[in-house]
Structure 1
Amino acid sequence: MILEVAILNVKLDEGEEFEKAFNEARLIISSMSGYISHDLMKCMEQTDKYILLVKWETIEDHEIGFRQSTEYLEWKRLLHHFYEPFPTVEHYQALN
């Protein structure tokens, strides 16, 4: 299992609209091959900051299967205009 981690800095005062768009976009990611689960969490100290945690079976499921899919184009359309700056995405795996 691979954990995708993205810190999402949403443009000021656009958090509510981002959350609505993400509610639609979550249906896209959850339908992808290799997807296991996800959590979107809102920062308590900075109201326009979120963290997205997505569990994938493999890194290729995310990097190739999702990011190179036609479904990803809709994901981008729904969400990418909210970010400032654009997030860095990292992948983690358990050591045990």
Structure 2
Amino acid sequence: MILELAILDVKPGREAEFVAAFAEAQQYIMRIEGYISHSLQKCIERPGRYLLLVNWHTLEAHTVGFRASPEYAEWKKLLHHFYEPFPTVEHYEKVLG
């Protein structure tokens, strides 16, 4: 299993609009083969910062399956204009635990 981690910094004053858009956009990621689960969490110390965690069966499920899909185009349309700066995405695999 692969864990995708993205820190999402949302433009000030757009947080509620972002959360509403994410609620709609999440349907697109959930349709992708290799998707397992996701969560969106809000930072307590930094208003406007969110943490997106997505579990995938493989790295390619995200980097190829999702990013090359029509669903990703819809995801981008709904969400990418909220970010400042654009998020860096990293992938992790379990070592212990």
TM range (shorter): over 0.9
| TM-score (structure 1 length as normaliser) | 0.98
Identity of aligned residues (%): 59
Q: Which runs of 4+ in 1 moved over 3 A?
A: none
Q: Which residue of 1 aligns with 2:60?
A: 60
- Which residue number in structure 2 is paired with residue 44 of structure 1? 44
Uncovered stretches (5+) of structure 1, i.e. residues with no partner: none
Distance (whole Å) between structure 1 residues aligned to residue 18 and residue 2 of structure 2: 25
Task: Say how many residue pairs are matched.
Answer: 96
Partners of 1:32 and 1:17 in 2: CA distance: 25
Q: CA offsets per residue over residues 44-88 of structure 1, 9 Å max, x none?
A: 111200000000000000000000111100000000000000000
Aligned to 2:82: 82
1:31 aligns with 31
Please tell me the residue identity of whatever aligns with 1:42: K
For 1:11-35, what per-residue CA distance to the aligned partner results, in whole angstroms no more than 9, with x for missing partners? 0010000000000001110111100
Q: TM-score, normalised by structure 2?
A: 0.97
TM-aligned CA deviation for residue 39 of structure 1: 0.6
